[in-house]
């Protein structure tokens, strides 16, 4: 399994510098060196401790964005992005431990400063957000 | 007398230092050490053996938020996942709502507390889905397929 260098820029980061969140193992693991291949970024969101979670990074034109519900209860999530790809946001209902991925793409000069903001309509949420893209 | 006082202070200081159980920092070496611990398959065991399941929600919460341990080192979360597996195997999606076919905790051999927690969550999710749709918001509902259930067990 490959782990790519993370470009975490927010205070709600999951892993300490030099470590990357592995959604399969559900823990922070040693990042792969990458070598110009795939890149990734991750962040977490816990409601009500936080009102929203933000994942931001400089990425490519096509980004696979994944949200994973880490809680033992189902959750409703809405993600708004900048650049805004899905007007009104992408809303998804997730079972406990379930994840869902959406492709975000835009034709612009790289790097693109992607910002994903996730909010919830549920009473509680513990969510990890991650994104992967290819280097340009 | 003065020497005795110094010795006593030194002894207390030594005892205090030896009792310092501050959490280990995450380093590459520590991760390698953690990776060698194998408690794989605990959730699967609970599901297959159909053992009675109750979980301490406070411990589960702590385990969920503990980023220094992988999922194989979280026994209470493993139990919770087994309960989720049993419960959600009996939940389907129909007309944009979650339908729960099980009526009691006994049928799943889980605690009443857990059953109530899951059932209430299903009801609240359905209400939230309705209120979002009333605002013309489209909500995706990925089905619980075999990939999802095996991810709970692994």
CA gap A92, A89 in Å, rounded: 10
Residue B141, token pair as written in the block:
């509902």
ipTM: 0.77
Q: Measuring CA to CA, which residue among A64, A69, A26 is closest to residue A46? A: A69
Displacement of CA A75 from its chain's centroid (Å): 16
Give chain A positions within 8 Å (CB) of B84. Answer: 72, 95-97
Q: Residue B56's domain spans which residues?
A: 2-153
Buried b (16+ CB within 10 A) or exposed e, A52-73: ebbbbbebbbebbbbbbbbbbb
Measure in Å the smallest separation between the Cα of B16 and chain A Cα atoms.
29
Give yes or no for B84 touching A (CB within 8 A).
yes
The per-residue pLDDT for B68 is 78
Q: Worst-scoring range by mean pLDDT, A74-78, A93-97, B68-72?
A: B68-72
The per-residue pLDDT for B36 is 46
Pairing between β-strand A125-134 and β-strand A38-47 as defined by DSSP bridges: antiparallel
- Higher-confidence position of B10 and A101: A101
Measure in Å the smallest separation between the Cα of A133 and chain B Cα atoms.
23
* Model confidence at A28: pLDDT above 80: no
Residue A35, token pair as written in the block:
């070598």
Under the banding of pLDDT at 50, 70 and 90, the label for residue B109 is very high
For chain A, list the domains and their CATH numbers. 43-134 (2.60.120.380)
Structural domains of chain B, count: 1
The per-residue pLDDT for B40 is 60
Give chain B positions within 8 Å (CB) of A25. Answer: 70-71
């Amino acid at each position: 399994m490959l782990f790519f260098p993370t470009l975490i820029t927010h205070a709600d980061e999951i892993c300490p510098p030099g470590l990357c969140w592995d959604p399969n193992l559900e823990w922070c693991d040693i990042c792969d060196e990458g070598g110009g291949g795939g890149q990734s970024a991750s962040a977490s969101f816990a409601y009500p401790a936080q009102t929203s979670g933000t994942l931001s990074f400089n990425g490519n034109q096509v980004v696979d964005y994944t949200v994973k519900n880490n809680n033992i209860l189902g959750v409703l999530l809405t993600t708004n992005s900048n650049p805004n790809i899905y007007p009104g946001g992408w809303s998804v209902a997730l079972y406990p431990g379930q994840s869902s991925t959406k492709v975000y793409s835009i034709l612009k000069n790289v790097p693109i400063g992607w910002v994903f903001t996730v909010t919830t309509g549920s009473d509680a949420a513990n969510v990890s957000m991650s994104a992967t893209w290819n280097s340009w | 007398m003065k020497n005795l006082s110094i010795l006593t202070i030194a002894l207390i200081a030594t005892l205090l230092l030896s009792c310092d159980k501050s959490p280990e920092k995450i380093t590459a070496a520590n991760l390698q050490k953690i990776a060698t611990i194998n408690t794989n398959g605990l959730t699967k065991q609970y599901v297959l053996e159909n053992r009675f399941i109750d979980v301490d929600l406070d411990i589960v919460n702590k385990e969920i938020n503990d980023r220094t341990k992988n999922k194989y080192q979280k026994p209470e979360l493993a139990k919770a996942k087994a309960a989720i597996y049993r419960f959600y195997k009996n939940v389907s999606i129909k007309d944009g709502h979650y339908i729960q076919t099980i009526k009691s905790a006994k049928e799943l051999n889980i605690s009443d507390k857990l059953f109530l927690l899951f059932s209430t969550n299903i009801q609240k999710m359905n209400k939230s889905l309705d209120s979002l749709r009333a605002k013309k918001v489209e909500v995706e509902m990925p089905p619980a397929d075999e990939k999802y259930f095996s991810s709970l067990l692994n």
